[in-house]
């Protein structure tokens, strides 16, 4: 039994030794196929590794790419009106409710205000005085022409008329602050607050009988959201191919899309983000786009004279990204580069390459083994 155990141990040792020698020979045969130096890597002559490397020559080109960025939805300029009061008054009646459509000039609510009543009285009194002065001037004009009224007296009449007309105009302008038609006002009637735009009531905090002061927040908001602005922040280097009128696809969610067109391309760079605002006008008749919402904007973007390389050619080094540039038939130098993604699988070279270099476009991963 003892001899049998020794024999088994010797057999296992022999098998293990054979396996080790076979593995060593196999590793030598399947070596990396390259050597590294300070400047890069050299491919060993006859190594099958050379067949795994795909080389391309870099050159500027025109790219039609899809530029994708996050954007925010907001109302168009002039499409939102905060309905407040520049004076104190008490709400006595409301004509609309939250969500109601309204047209420009439509009455929204009534306010009883001593300031408004005083402005109406001043206007009506000054208008009456101006009418009397005008009528008096016409009578005195006939007398002046016949010589029965001296030039000095005529000048006084004209001055009185001008003063009365100026006072009436001042009262009319004061009344205009209440956004009413002066020709239709009547003494003692409350002020009817009207909408300055057409749209829909999107906020209504009116309290019947509540008092609104000059410093209070506007109690009602009217907005026209049938068309909205979507603002995307685009990198300065990518703005060159964008212009007003270009179509843009807006992705609202996984199931909904909207079409828009570029309305304005910003000209002032944001110093913090290094981007420019691109404003897109979108039809919103279905009300899918809500102000404050974040969406995805996709631009069909043409970039001219762009030095672009495959993303598989770029590697992350200790200090910077780099590519393998061929400087002799079997040697590739590691050249630091700065790049940015222009679309999936494609990198734009910002610095490090000038064009005309032969680089490893694919297979460079084998040189890191």
Please tell me the distance from the alpha carbon of residue 352 to that of residue 355, in angstroms, as a whole number.
10
Looking at domain 83-113+190-222, does it have CATH number 2.60.90.10? no
pLDDT tens-digit map of 336-369: 999 988 777 888 899 999 999 999 999 988 887 5
Residue 27's pLDDT band (cuts 50, 70, 90): very low
Domain with CATH 2.40.30.170 in the chain: 67-78+225-303
**Among 301, 300, 309, 316, CA closest to 348:** 309
Domain with CATH 1.10.287.470 in the chain: 115-180
The CATH class for the domain spanning 115-180 reads mainly alpha
Is 79's pLDDT higher than 50? yes
- pLDDT-above-90 percentage for the chain: 55
Query: Which CATH code, of 3.40.50.970, 3.40.630.10, 2.40.420.20, 3.50.50.60, is assigned to 34-60+307-368?
Result: 2.40.420.20
pLDDT of residue 31: 52
Q: What residue has token string 């179509």?
A: 247
Question: Would you say 229 and 140 are in contact if contact means Cβ atoms under 8 Å apart?
Answer: no
pLDDT tens-digit map of 127-172: 999 999 999 999 888 888 888 888 898 899 899 999 999 999 998 8
**Among 83, 107, 105, 103, CA closest to 93:** 107
pLDDT of residue 1: 44
Question: DSSP letters of 48-92?
Answer: GGGGG-EEEE---EEEEEEEEEEEEEEEPTT-EEEE--SS-EEEE
Looking at domain 67-78+225-303, does it have CATH number 3.90.79.10? no
Domain with CATH 2.40.420.20 in the chain: 34-60+307-368
- If DSSP codes are grouped into helix, strand and coil, which group holds residue 301? strand
């Amino acid at each position: 039994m003892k001899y049998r155990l020794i024999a088994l141990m010797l057999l296992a040792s022999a098998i293990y030794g054979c396996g080790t020698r076979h593995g060593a020979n196999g590793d030598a045969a399947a070596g990396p196929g390259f050597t590294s130096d300070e400047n890069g890597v050299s491919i060993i002559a006859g190594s099958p590794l050379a067949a795994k490397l795909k080389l391309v020559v870099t050159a500027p080109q025109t790219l039609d790419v899809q530029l994708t960025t996050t954007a925010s939805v907001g109302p168009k300029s002039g499409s939102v009106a905060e309905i407040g009061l520049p004076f104190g008054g008490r709400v006595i009646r409301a004509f609309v409710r939250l969500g109601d459509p309204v047209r420009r000039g439509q009455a929204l609510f009534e306010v009883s205000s001593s300031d408004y009543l005083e402005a109406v009285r001043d206007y009506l009194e000054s208008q009456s005085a101006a009418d009397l002065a005008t009528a008096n001037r016409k009578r005195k004009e006939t007398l002046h022409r016949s010589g029965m009224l001296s030039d000095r007296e005529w000048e006084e009449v004209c001055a009185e008329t001008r003063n009365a007309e100026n006072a009436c105009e001042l009262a009319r302008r004061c009344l205009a602050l209440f956004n009413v038609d002066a020709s239709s006002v009547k003494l003692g009637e409350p002020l009817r607050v009207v909408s300055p735009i057409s749209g829909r009531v999107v906020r209504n905090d009116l309290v019947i009988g509540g008092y609104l002061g000059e410093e209070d927040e506007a109690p009602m908001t009217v907005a026209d959201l049938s068309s909205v602005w979507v603002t995307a922040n685009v990198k300065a280097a990518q703005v060159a191919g964008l212009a007003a009128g270009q179509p843009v696809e807006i992705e609202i969610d996984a199931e909904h899309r909207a079409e828009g067109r570029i309305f304005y391309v910003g000209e002032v760079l944001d110093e913090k983000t290094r981007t420019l605002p691109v404003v897109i006008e979108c039809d919103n008749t279905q009300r899918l786009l809500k102000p404050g919402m974040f969406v995805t904007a996709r631009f069909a973007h043409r970039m001219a004279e762009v030095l672009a390389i495959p993303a598989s050619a770029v590697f992350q080094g200790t200090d910077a990204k780099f590519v393998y540039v061929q400087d002799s038939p079997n040697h590739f130098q590691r050249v630091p580069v700065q790049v940015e993604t222009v679309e999936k699988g494609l990198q734009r070279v910002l610095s490090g390459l000038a064009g005309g270099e032969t680089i490893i476009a694919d297979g460079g991963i084998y040189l890191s083994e």
